[in-house]
Structure 1
Amino acid sequence: MPDRFANTQPSLSGPAASGFAVTPNDATDLPETTRALYVGIGGNMAVRMLSGETLTLSNLSAGSLLPLRVTRVMSSGTTASAIIGLV
């Protein structure tokens, strides 16, 4: 399948080109820093931002797309599930 954008430089404002399932873990970083997170099943989500800050995002709705640069999703404080990291 042709990709008319194959020769353009990806940017943070462009669409994600890849993704991975996120398993919340208090001790392990994600395989890549995200450009966004998709929340399949709503709830709270505790994250470590690229800056190193730890935040808890409360009452996220199912289907939320959050444009966040995240290095870790913690299991402590996270009740949301079916989380996808987009890069």
Structure 2
Amino acid sequence: MSDPFAGAASGLSGPATRHFAISPSDSVDLAVRPRALVFQTDGDAVLRDEAGTDVTYGRYAGDVLPIRAVRVLATGTTATLVGWI
């Protein structure tokens, strides 16, 4: 398949080029830090930022949350998430 944008730099405002399933954990940081999180199902996601602050976000399926979370905690997270990079 031809990709006319193959040589273009991809900044944080551009589209993601890869995605991965998120496995929430209370003890392990994400292996790859995403540029955004996509909610696959309605529910809550408890996210930790780089300062160690945990915040719960309630969203609907299809919502994109543009945060570069360090960890998605298992305790309190009810949504299924995908990371975009």
Q: Distance in 2 between matches of 1:22 and 1:74?
A: 10
Structure 1 outlier segments of 4+, above 6 Å: none
Q: Which deviations, in whole Å up to 9, do the C-alpha atoms of 1:7-39 show, x marking residues without a partner?
A: 111100000000100111111111211111111
Question: How many Å apart are 1:53 and its aligned residue?
Answer: 2.2
Q: Distance in 1 between matches of 2:11 and 2:64?
A: 17
Instruction: Please identify which structure carries the higher strand content.
Output: 1
Question: How many Å apart are 1:52 and its aligned residue?
Answer: 3.1
Letter in 2 for 1:23: S
Counterparts in 2 of 1:58-77, with a 5 A limit? 58=58, 60-77=59-76
Q: Which runs of 5+ in 2 are unaligned?
A: none
Q: Which runs of 5+ in 1 are unaligned?
A: none
Q: TM-score, normalised by structure 1?
A: 0.89
Q: How many residues align?
A: 85
Letter in 1 for 2:35: R
Distance 1:7 1:47, change over 3 A: same
2:54 aligned with 1:57: no
Kindly report the root-mean-square deviation, in angstroms, between the aligned alpha carbons of the 2 structures: 1.2
**Cα contact 1:38–1:66 (8 A) shared by 2:** yes
- Aligned partner of 2:33 in structure 1 is 33
What SS is found at the alignment partner of 1:12?
coil
2:10 aligned with 1:10: yes
User: Taking every aligned residue pair, what percent have the same amino acid on both sides?
Assistant: 40
Q: Distance in 1 between matches of 2:3 and 2:29?
A: 31
